[in-house]
Structure 1
Amino acid sequence: MTTATETGCFETRAIHVGYDRQTNADAVSVPIYASAAFDLENARRGDALAGGSLPGFEYSRVANPTVDALERRLASLEGGVGAVALSSGMAAVSYALMCVAEGGGRIVAPVNLYGASVDALGDFLPKFGIYGDFVSDINDLASVEAVIGPDTKAIFTESVANPSTAVADIEGLADLAHKHGIPLIVDNTVPTPYLLRPIEFGADIVVHSTTKGITGHGNALGGVVVDAGRFDWNNGRFPQFTREELVISDQRAGEWHSFHSRFGNQAFIKRIRIKYLRTFGAVQSPFNAYMQLIGLETLTVREKQEVASATAIAKHLTTLSHVTSVNYAALEDSPTYDLALKYLPNGIGTILSFTVEGDGSNVERILDATKVFSYVPNIGDSRSLIVNPTKVTHREVPAGYYDAAGVSDNLIRLSIGLENVDDLIADLDQAIAGAY
């Protein structure tokens, strides 16, 4: 039965969806189920649970009640048919890319991805037969289409790039991907589902590092893969979804299934859980899932405040003499300002970046002089953070990609938290002035 909380507004669903108090001793908060395994009760029920014909919990490497509540809530907030929570954002990215290109293939992606994602597609996944075809501008649809070939398995992009904040044309990319029979995968970490829901614009798979804005306090690692449930995996390009698999079949009864025949529009997310999570084991801990559920309850109010502060700080930085450029797509002179208006009318997120005069020594003096900002390689925290990307978060990005990725040794990235915006501006002012 669908309840009012499951069909209500975003803020209501962020607090209520995916959890039934009456089946959990009327606990108001989702309990932490710190159990590795669950009682199968009897032989017949155990057989049904193990075979997947009966819903329930058997072993926490595959599913856990606390994690299940988080998955249901995130699937609802993103508008998907299902989700799998994982132990980190990079597990979510890696599993999604490997699942779509399983057996070998190519993935089109921009060079301005998060550094670890660039390293995965450019150096690590090729060792498994999965290659990245990088383009300098993901919104140049002609250039993207030019590299799509018969072995291309997906287009992968970030909705809002880190640290340039460039906004991807999700609708245009989705139409292009579907024209060629491939899915669009979107990393939606920076804006969170409160500010943007890529599935509404045609994306097929959404991934997050839930460590960031979703958790919101820098105290729990996590990731998630969300499936829109609309892509046709039975179009000839993806044999991993149409071949028969023992793990989802009943060989004793002579009943054989593929992921497509067994699960239909949930084939992708079921394969993520049954093959990737179950085999590679990047399991979300119940405690971390609980922390992310708590974070979701305050997501909307946090994002509103942090976006307002980030916008004020971005505008202020444009007035400082030693600042040579400011990257924040909500500014009217941003190259992707029109896309920001279309996709993110309530704000683009809590990160921004800027370049300064001088050299790396000036950057280091600014970093070392801040008192309110913390020098931390994270984003989406309730604390405001500052970092120099080429030395920390983007060390894996080849120098030849720097210009297109929007990074340089003179670039500083900020993640704006919940401190008073006047204190944050004063802290930047004194640190920048002192560096010169």
Structure 2
Amino acid sequence: MPDSPDCRPAASSFATTQVQAGYTAGAVSHTAIPPIYQSNAFEFTSLTQARELFALQREGDIYSRAANPTVAVFEQRVAALEGGIAAAGVASGQAAVALALLALAGRGGHIVAAAQLYGGTVDLLTDTFPDWGIETTLVDQDDPQAWRDAVRPSTRAFFAESIANPIAQVLDVRTVADLAHAAGVPLVIDNTVATPYLQRPGEHGADITVHSATKFLGGHGTSLGGAVVDLGTFDFTAEPEKWPQLTQSYARVPGKSLVERFGESGSPYISLVKTKYSHDLGPSLSAFNAFQLLQGMESLDLRMSRHSASAQRVAEHLATLPAVAAVHHPGLDGNRWNALSAAYLPRGNASVFSFDLVSRGDAEADFAAVEAFIARLRVLRLVANIGDARSLVAHPASMTHSHMTPQQLADAGISWTTVRLSIGLEDADDLVADLDQALTAA
């Protein structure tokens, strides 16, 4: 069959010409940067090709909800940065976490997760997943025995953040990876805050990473996106009965399992994420957003170096101020995670971290003090985001982590005096001066 349709003669009618003139599907333009393939669907060269694509017998694009050439470049780039074998681009970081774990847990599965997580992830694990029969046990990420004790026969994944949001706890990835593998399950790491520039979790035993590309990968606060990356290290065939979704016959690949279809040439796991969960639930990454995220990723190392250096400067300064009770930054001497930071983050520490104001004695008074402090800031902006070029401030207890119970907040190290910072690309002197004047008045 021909690889592309023949050029069609120009139609004489105005209506047909205004729709079809000037473009032939499959025409190649040698653009210097990845173009935006802003198309809902893709033209087939033949019905035979269409049938083979729908049966997953050959690679190609059908419909942008399932795959898009611009998104494919994004996927390949994230996978390469993480040292992985394949990736799935999705609409947001929240979608990435959800799909990554759904593909592992299936119906009635169990997840062991760190208690030190972004609030939206806690909502997903403890509120939404139970609606689907998936249970989660939250554990102190620094307690190896807690991880061991939480394992059940139905456990299908360990999950944690490489650098936790908002207290910047640094995970001992190797230890938790070894515990996961002893339980016969993969370790899934949310690597959003570190990015592959500061840490590649696969080098320490992790098997799957997820990203909110909305944050540092894109870096400019303009475009939502997420990614699930298979690092290619977990053998789903070692205990095939645990993973029937991968090792048994898959209806969308007639007569074969995903391992049989993609085990040699790709990632059965990512194929499941894409062909079932992303396809059926529809959290698709748009071509335009993929293009924007690709632009941001081109300067990732430069930005992360600046973010990290400025955050270290700000954290060191905050630690000297009398209005500050504690600074939660792993780059500070005396921080509980300082040694882990040196081991896992040799290129620099996170630029997302928190500090506590001196408490007034009760939650309402503490909230009022934080609100007054934030109102005095002039350079840092009150925004529910991280990883932006702009420096941002937030109050986790009333914003990003507000749905968590008092015990969950305490387990995550968050109080009503906790203020989260995401240090951007501005001059560090300006940030220090802004915090100084706002805290001095406090």
Q: TM-score, normalised by structure 1?
A: 0.91
Quick one: distance in 1 between partners of 2:269 and 2:293? 24
Quick one: distance in 2 between partners of 1:149 and 1:47? 42
1:77 is aligned, of 75, 81, 92, to 81
Aligned-residue offset at 1:225? 0.2
Aligned-residue offset at 1:230? 2.2
Where does residue 332 of structure 1 map in the other structure?
Answer: 333
Q: Deviations over 1:202-261 (max 9, x none)?
A: 111100000000000000001100001221223122222222122111xxxxxx111222
**1:103-122 alignment runs, 5 A limit:** 103-122=107-126
Aligned-residue offset at 1:361? 1.1
2:246 is aligned, of 223, 241, 247, to 241
Greater shift in the superposed pair: 161-170 or 352-361: 352-361
Greater shift in the superposed pair: 167-176 or 41-50: 41-50
Aligned to 1:153, the other structure's residue is in SS state strand
Does structure 2 retain, via aligned residues, the 8 Å contact 1:160–1:348?
no
Give the percent of matched residue pairs that are identical in Structure 1 and Structure 2: 43
Aligned-residue offset at 1:151? 1.1
2:182 is aligned, of 179, 182, 206, to 179
Aligned to 2:158, the other structure's residue is in SS state strand
Where does residue 142 of structure 1 map in the other structure?
Answer: 145
Where does residue 420 of structure 1 map in the other structure?
Answer: 427
**One-letter amino acid matched to 2:376:** A
Does structure 2 retain, via aligned residues, the 8 Å contact 1:241–1:267?
yes
Aligned-residue offset at 1:192? 0.7
Does structure 2 retain, via aligned residues, the 8 Å contact 1:204–1:229?
yes
1:432 aligns with 2:425: no
Quick one: distance in 1 between partners of 2:342 and 2:291? 34
**One-letter amino acid matched to 1:259:** L
Q: Deviations over 1:295-332 (max 9, x none)?
A: 00111111111110000000000000010000011112
**One-letter amino acid matched to 2:379:** V
Question: How many positions carry a matched residue from both structures?
Answer: 407
Where does residue 260 of structure 1 map in the other structure?
Answer: 259
Quick one: distance in 2 between partners of 1:36 and 1:401? 42
**One-letter amino acid matched to 1:273:** K
Does structure 1 retain, via aligned residues, the 8 Å contact 2:57–2:253?
no
1:96 aligns with 2:80: no
Where does the alignment leave 5 or more consecutive residues of structure 1 unmatched?
Answer: 1-22, 250-255
Aligned to 1:218, the other structure's residue is in SS state coil
Quick one: distance in 1 between partners of 2:245 and 2:57? 22
Where does the alignment leave 5 or more consecutive residues of structure 2 unmatched?
Answer: 1-26, 361-365
Quick one: distance in 2 between partners of 1:316 and 1:139? 27
Aligned-residue offset at 1:48? 2.5
1:346 aligns with 2:363: no
Aligned to 1:391, the other structure's residue is in SS state coil
Give 1 or 2 for the bigger CA radius of gyration: 2
Q: TM-score, normalised by structure 2?
A: 0.90
Aligned to 1:248, the other structure's residue is in SS state coil
Where does residue 123 of structure 1 map in the other structure?
Answer: 127
Aligned to 2:421, the other structure's residue is in SS state strand
Aligned to 2:129, the other structure's residue is in SS state helix
Aligned-residue offset at 1:24? 5.2
Where does residue 205 of structure 2 map in the other structure?
Answer: 202
Where does residue 284 of structure 2 map in the other structure?
Answer: 283
Q: Deviations over 1:353-381 (max 9, x none)?
A: 10001321110011111000010010000
Where does residue 55 of structure 2 map in the other structure?
Answer: 51
Aligned-residue offset at 1:53? 2.6
Q: Structure 1 residues 321, 24: closer, same or farther in 2, change over 3 A?
A: farther
**What RMSD in Å do the two structures reach over aligned CA positions?**
1.3
1:398 is aligned, of 394, 400, 405, to 405
Aligned-residue offset at 1:41? 1.5
Where does residue 19 of structure 2 map in the other structure?
Answer: none
1:310 aligns with 2:311: yes
Aligned-residue offset at 1:189? 0.4
1:221 is aligned, of 212, 219, 224, to 224
**One-letter amino acid matched to 1:75:** A
1:361 aligns with 2:368: yes
Quick one: distance in 1 between partners of 2:56 and 2:150? 40
